[in-house]
A and B are shown apart, each in its own frame.
Chain A
Amino acid sequence: MRTRLALVLGSVSAALIALTLASPRVIAADKVDPAADAKAFQNFFFQKFPDVKREDFVNGPYSMNADMKRQWQEKEEFPPYEFALDAGKEMFATPFKNGKSYADCFPNGGIGIRQNYPYFDEKEGKVVTLELALNRCREANGEAPYSYVKDEMASLTAYMAFTSRGKPMDIRIPDDPRALAAFENGKRYFYTRRGQMNFSCASCHVQSPGERIRAEILAPALGIVNAMPIYRSEWSGMGTTSRRFVTCNSQTRAVPLEPQADEYRDVEYFLSYVANGLPISGPGARP
């Protein structure tokens, strides 16, 4: 008995010594390296789900469950986001009161550019999302901004995503310490536990994709932003990336932030960057 205790104590102290020895090395590896993070993030999912085609991750829970996928493919012949898409197309083409239009605010007239958002604005020193850019465009032309969570904003982003379907996500992180800090901050937000349930974003979308949460199948975090905006049957309507973040927070009984708060913009930056190379599939449909 005593010898066993000594052995256990011995191994604990050995472990402690090992920890103290290893800690300086951990700090040395703590440099922000988005490219390495993205590679590790993607490999984690590719290894966890070897049977899922890489470009299929952007289809969320449907990449995880054959039965749901079949139903979804049937639904895609008559997609529920079609009304929003048509409305968005019309809105995008309608000029503002001053005669200018959305096309004047965006590179390439706003067509086929969804994969470049969010981007880091070096003048402002912050991440700019597509939703934010759309509202800034409206305000610059004397129009009132739209709600960030649904309706018009979802219709507009649905149309812009649709014109970019199939293009690989292409997020750049400029060589600017503020951009790296934004990426790191988004990553931190994603992995930090919060709320009454003590869940982080990763608790569901990294640890448990494909598992059931009540009647739902959890989507993988990889490529989750590629399908935005989405028509969710649960909402019986469209929702933007902002809406997804807010509901995720409130469903885990955490206090949601304001749509387009800095942390949300950073987390979208992080999630989009680690999905680089995967195709845009928005607008999506989700249960």
Chain B
Amino acid sequence: MASSIRVRATSNGDITEVQALIQHPMDTGFVKDAKGELIPAHFIQELKFECNGKDVFVADWGTAVSKDPYVKFSFRGARKGDDLKISWTDNKGGSDTITAKIA
């Protein structure tokens, strides 16, 4: 199975721009399925981007974030070729992680 995380990080020398797309149902717990049963809440609680051992972006998420979330941000202090580590954990104990090279 391919990773649930897609990421693209590009540096223009000073600023690194990061785009990430995460595959996750982000169920709120308020939606019913075809049988009329509630779909239990299932959402990402923490999303973390680390670069050179430092956290550069940490998000505490709840059910308000949409399915297959897309994140875009930029930060300073990284260079081309550095590793950017992305990881998430959800309320059911699921998690995924991936490391991307800054281009």
Q: Do A and B come from one complex?
A: yes
Asked if B8 lies at the interface with its beta carbon under 8 angstroms from chain A, I say yes
* Alpha-carbon separation in the docked complex, A263 to B64 (Å): 41
B66/A82 in contact, CB under 8 A: no
> CA of A263 to CA of B23 in the docked complex: distance in angstroms?
36
* A236, B28: Cα distance in complex, Å: 14
Whole-angstrom distance from the CB of A98 to the nearest CB of chain B? 24
A96 at the B interface (CB under 8 A):
no
From 76 to 116 in chain A, residues with beta carbon under 8 angstroms from any chain B beta carbon are 77-78, 80, 82-83, 86-87, 90
Distance in Å: Cβ of B87 to nearest Cβ of chain A? 18
> Smallest distance from the beta carbon of B83 to chain A beta carbons, Å?
20
Evaluate contact between B21 and A82: CB separation under 8 angstroms.
Answer: yes
Contact B21 A78 (CB under 8 A): yes
CA of A90 to CA of B6, assembled, Å: 17
Q: Which residue, of A77, A78, A82, A87, has the highest number of chain B Cβ atoms within 10 A?
A: A78
In the bound assembly, the distance between CA atoms of A88 and B14 in angstroms comes to 38
CA distance A83 to B68 in the complex (A): 10
Interface members, chain B 60-78 (any A CB < 8 Å) = 66-68, 70
Known contacts A78-B70, A83-B23, A83-B68; A90/B8 CB under 8 A: no
A78-B6 in contact (CB<8A) = yes
Q: Determine how close the nearest CB of chain B comes to the CB of A73; give it in whole angstroms.
A: 14
- Within the assembled complex, what's the spacing in Å between the Cα atoms of A77 and B8? 10
Docked-complex contact B68 and A236, CB < 8 angstroms: yes
- Indicate the size class of the contact surface on chain B: 10 to 19
Which of chain B's residues has its CB closest to A87's CB?
B2
Complex interface residues of chain A between 36 and 87 (CB less than 8 A to chain B): 77-78, 80, 82-83, 86-87
Complex alpha-carbon distance, A80 and B66, angstroms: 13
Q: Which of A202-227 contact B (CB under 8 A)?
A: none
**Contact status of A86 and B2, CB under 8 A, knowing A78-B70, A236-B68:** yes
B3 nearest in chain A by CB position: A86
CB distance from A101 to the nearest CB of B (A): 19
Chain A residues with CB under 8 A of B68? 80, 83, 236
With CB as the reference atom, state the residue of chain A lying closest to B22.
Answer: A83
Closest-CB distance, A213 to chain B (whole angstroms)? 23
Contact A78 B67 (CB under 8 A): no
Residues of B contacting A77 in the complex (Cβ-Cβ under 8 angstroms): 8, 19
CB distance from A83 to the nearest CB of B (A): 5
Within 8 A of B (CB), among A233-276: 236-237
Q: Which residue of B lies closest to A233 (CB)?
A: B66
Across the interface, name the chain B residue whose C-beta is closest to A237: B67
- Which of A82, A236, A237 sits near B6, CB closer than 8 Å? A82
Closest to B67 in A: A236
Q: When each residue 12-41 of chain B gets 1 if its CB lies under 8 Å from chain A and 0 otherwise, what string results?
A: 000000010101000000000000000000
Given contact pairs A83-B23, A87-B2, A90-B2, a sample of 6 additional A-B residue pairs in the complex whose CB atoms are under 8 Å apart:
A78-B6, A78-B8, A78-B19, A80-B68, A86-B2, A236-B67
CB<8 Å pairs between A and B, sample of 12: A77-B19, A78-B6, A78-B21, A80-B70, A82-B6, A83-B2, A83-B6, A83-B21, A83-B23, A87-B2, A90-B2, A236-B66
Which residues in A have some Cβ–Cβ distance to B below 8 Å? 77-78, 80, 82-83, 86-87, 90, 236-237
The 10 residue pairs across chains A and B that have the minimum distance between CB atoms: A236-B67, A83-B23, A86-B2, A78-B19, A78-B21, A82-B6, A78-B8, A236-B66, A80-B68, A78-B6
